[in-house]
Amino acid sequence: MNFAVDVAIVGAGAAGLAATARAYELGLSCYLLEAKPRIGGRVHTDRESLGVAWDRGAHWLHSADVNPLTKIADALGHAYVARPRAFDGHFHLGTGWATSGEYRAYRKAFDEAEERAVAAGLKGRDIAALDVMDNTSRWARMVDHIFMAISGVPPSDISTADLAAYRDTGANWPLVQGYGALLESLYAGLPVELSTPVTAIDTSGALILIETPRGTVRARSLIVTVSTNVLASGAIRFTPELPPRLQAALQAVPTGHANKVAFRFKRDVFRLPDTSYVNFMDERDAARPACSFQIRPFGHDLAIAYLGGDLAENLERAGEAEMMSFARAALSDMFGADIFRELSGAAATSWTRDPHTLGAYSCARPGHAAERAVLAEPVSERFFLAGEAVSADWYSTVHGAHLTGIAAADQANTYLTRAIAAALRR
Ligand SMILES: Cc1cc2nc3c(=O)[nH]c(=O)nc-3n(C[C@H](O)[C@H](O)[C@H](O)COP(=O)(O)OP(=O)(O)OC[C@H]3O[C@@H](n4cnc5c(N)ncnc54)[C@H](O)[C@@H]3O)c2cc1C
């Protein structure tokens, strides 16, 4: 890592990988520096823990009908299941399955809550989603859970203007081999310096200096793609410090929380169609949080719990045993405790304590939606941020991160082209 490159890219998640591939396309020399021993970041298809592939992070091609990664999946032969909204499916109320009338009533309650929050945002009222929701509805707990799963934070912390800015087409298609597997195929052969955490960045000199335990990288331009929580944590020391306006924006658009608990069974214990989605809200116990499951994805004998917001954060901090027992209790109530006689493995994620992510996906705080745009501004003429939080309309997604990576590489290229032209004129 001795010579100076045109662009150094920090983080090999969806944004960093796309930025690097684009930079090579443009003929730039690059270093892609990744702290983990693998690529993908918050996109990770786990093939080890349960002996069958499952996505620990991203799973759906969101807004799949217009998502640029859908066409890439087609080109690379990665199949997906075309289906509607992310968590649509069955609904268990603790005492039994919801009737179709109850399911419709719940969907109406969710749609109304979402419409009111989006309408407030579109009118320029940047307030908490909670303030426009009907919190007395029978379905409020389930509606809260889905909002937390979507945004990573409770409705009290969701900005209506941020929510309104998100471009959702309602098509959410899970990838059969996994989202991580798609990125692995797409970027096979892309040079990456794995297990190379960046500890300090000095942008004060003629060349940018990027410190890692393996040595110092020198670069003419820089793209940083780590999550807002990682950037705000001080894990990377900047000289000079990040501008106060950017530091404020990092606080205004924190990384929220989401986690999964996956169980593998020896046979089909659910008797539901493959790739079913099941929601659970126990009406016998108002204090019990609601949650969702993916059941038998693509015919594998798995059940994967989806936890969002406070629930995901609190259970993760309580420990893996607590997470598993929470998810296990919900599955037992829906399908009978006997199904666990057929259990062959279990695994849980911990995205909040993972030092390289410190959370799952970003959400602007109420009153602060406009600060997401600050993240998209160049930090200096040769220093750019990319990543899901930088996307104005597809934040919190893989394709949003992907597009910001490409845009950042284009910006670095424009800077470098101008810098060369200026040097030639001298
Ligand atoms: C549980 C969960 C479910 C999700 N579901 C979906 C979904 O279904 N569909 C969807 O589109 N999105 C989903 N997402 C969100 C999606 O995964 C993210 O928005 C996207 O992957 C973020 O990509 P990124 O490149 O911005 O950041 P990251 O993936 O976080 O990439 C940043 C990279 O930087 C690395 N890094 C951190 N610190 C350093 C350092 N000091 N030096 C070097 N490298 C460093 C990290 O290891 C990481 O690889 C989900 C996320 C989670 C956690």
The model's pLDDT over 143-180, given as tens digits with 9 standing for 90+, comes to: 999 999 999 999 999 999 999 999 999 999 999 999 99
Atom of ligand 1 nearest to the CA of 39: 49
Please give the distance of CA 338 from its chain centroid, rounded to a whole number.
Answer: 34
Q: Closest Cα to atom 7, ligand 1: which residue?
A: 58
CA–centroid distance, residue 198 to ligand 1 (Å): 16
pTM score: 0.97
Q: In this structure, which long-range contacts are made by residues 402-406, counting pairs with CB atoms below 8 Å and at least 24 apart in sequence? A: 402/14, 402/15, 402/18, 402/68, 402/69, 403/18, 403/68, 404/15, 404/376, 405/14, 405/15, 405/16, 405/17, 405/18, 405/19, 405/20, 405/22, 405/223, 405/225, 406/18, 406/19, 406/22
Question: Distance between CA atoms of 326 and 318, rounded to whole angstroms?
Answer: 11
* pLDDT computed for residue 425 by the predictor: 83
**Mean pLDDT for the chain overall:** 96
pLDDT of 88 > 80? The answer is no
Q: Do 60 and 86 contact (CB within 8 A), yes or no?
A: yes
Phi-psi region of 353 (alpha: psi -120 to 50; beta: other; left: phi over 0): alpha
Instruction: State how far the Cα of 70 lies from the Cα of 78, in Å rounded to an integer.
Output: 9
pLDDT band at 2 (very low <50, low <70, confident <90, very high): low
> DSSP secondary structure string, 241-267?
PPPHHHHHHHHHS-B--EEEEEEEESS
Which ligand 1 atom is at minimum distance from the Cα of 259?
1
Q: How far is CA 212 from the centre of its chain?
A: 26
Give the type of residue at 350: S
Cross-strand bridge partners of residue 264: 302, 345
Nearest CA to ligand 1 atom 4: 58
Q: Model confidence at 89, in pLDDT bands (50, 70, 90)? A: confident
Residue 420 pLDDT: 84
| Confidence bin at 83 (pLDDT 50/70/90) | confident
43 ligand 1 Cβ < 6 A: yes
Which residue has a Cα nearest atom 49 of ligand 1? 41
**Distance from Cα 397 to the centre of ligand 1, integer Å:** 9
- 14 CA: nearest ligand 1 atom: 25
Beta strands in 58-143 (DSSP E): 60-62, 90-92
Predicted confidence at residue 295, as pLDDT, reads 96
Hey, where are the domains in the chain?
4-39+187-254+361-425, 85-169+258-348
pLDDT at residue 225 in the model: 99
* Contact between residue 407 and residue 273 where contact means Cβ atoms under 8 Å apart: no
For range 25-42, the mean pLDDT: 98
Q: Is 225 in the pocket of ligand 1 (CB under 6 A)?
A: yes
Dihedral angle over CA of 411, 413, 418, 420, nearest 10? 150
Atom nearest to 386 CA in ligand 1: 26
Q: Is the CB of residue 308 below 6 angstroms from any atom belonging to ligand 1? A: no
Q: What are phi and psi of 219, to 5 degrees?
A: -145, 150
* Class of 4-39+187-254+361-425 in CATH: alpha beta
Q: How confident is the model at residue 426 (pLDDT cuts 50, 70, 90)?
A: confident
Question: 85-169+258-348 architecture in CATH?
Answer: Alpha-Beta Complex (3.90)
The tens digit of pLDDT for each residue in 232-273 reads: 999 999 999 999 999 999 999 999 999 999 999 999 999 999
Whether residue 1 has pLDDT greater than 90:
no
Query: Could you tell me whether strands 215-224 and 45-46 are parallel, antiparallel, or unpaired per DSSP bridges?
Result: unpaired
